[in-house]
Chains A and B, each alone.
Chain A
């Protein structure tokens, strides 16, 4: 660089290198307008150190694969502009919490999705043999509205990383899986309400939630798993009192 040009604005990013044990390594990256945290990570991987491991796909907040911990907060890096998080010119990027680190910024999401299965977070058609041709679901009904409120989850794991109860109790099913179960409990076409509620009430289920709303605060889709879990608490108690649990 010639001495006369003004120096390019720079950003120091510290990126986690290693697995469960490792360290934050500083990199100097040119600061650009409208740069996202994912741009920064990609720059480091393409220009500075090609061995850096991380994940992304869509870059527009659709797939949920780019979630990382940015200055201590779980976020979609493709939808997080550096300006928003780098007040003091420093950005620290680590892998999501509560999931095993595969390498650097990539975590193993298998335990997260296994819990969706354990929570029975899958649709069970009540009309499996297809005798009815068309399910009528009034969009304005209370159940449908409750299901719709949580249906847009894309399984990014941000809420799961934000949840302290998951950190304390690695069995806890977590906000995303329970939110999914709540959409199914409210789906009039689902035939396994009892199974869903029994799974949600188990000793790693909805009653372990402290309702402290970290999941809701950080969900990039603006969903409210805390409210879904509160709904599950209510419904499991109702079915308990009816002798159905």
Chain B
């Protein structure tokens, strides 16, 4: 059972990393490009408003982070502190939920 959980987490973390890598590049490149062009926050927001493309890019970003980060943090906590077991797994799930809530709010504000 624990073997299955660990293997699933491994798949989820690798899979989400695979999704995140290009999205991070897109995000950084767009940011640099937008600022260089001298766009203000209002101008940027006017372009992202009602944009299905930006909505899905950042929606996917949030989903991938919500999967990726809690798994990584769970591993670090297990290595660096004595905390492990069920309670840590629940805490990681809560962390995931927090990222989803904050992320969805942030993406909502773009649209």
Q: Nearest Cβ in chain B — how far from A226, in angstroms?
A: 15
Binds B, one of A6-14, A29-37, A39-47, A232-240: A232-240
Smallest CB gap from B6: residue in A: A207
Cβ of B78 and Cβ of A169 under 8 Å apart?
Answer: yes
Contact in complex: B6, A205 (CB < 8 Å) = yes
B105 interfacial by beta-carbon distance below 8 Å: no
Q: Chain A 15-59, CB within 8 Å of chain B: the 1/0 string? A: 000000000000000000000000000000000000000000000
Kindly state the separation between the CA atoms of A165 and B8 in the bound complex, as whole angstroms.
Answer: 20
CA gap between A117 and B37 in the complex, in Å: 63
User: B3's contact among A165, A168, A198, A241, by CB below 8 Å, is which?
Assistant: A198
Main secondary structure of the interface of A (DSSP, over half): helix
Interface pair A236/B7, CB less than 8 Å apart: yes
Contact A236:B78 (CB < 8 A) given known A207-B9, A207-B10 = no
Q: Smallest CB–CB gap between A131 and chain B, Å?
A: 31
For B1-39 the 0/1 string (1 means CB < 8 A from A) is: 011111111110000000000000000000000000000
Q: List 6 extra interface pairs beyond A168-B79, A168-B80, A208-B6, CB under 8 A.
A: A207-B9, A208-B75, A236-B3, A237-B10, A237-B11, A240-B11
Q: Mind listing 8 A-B residue pairs with CB under 8 Å?
A: A169-B78, A200-B3, A201-B4, A201-B6, A202-B3, A203-B3, A240-B7, A245-B4
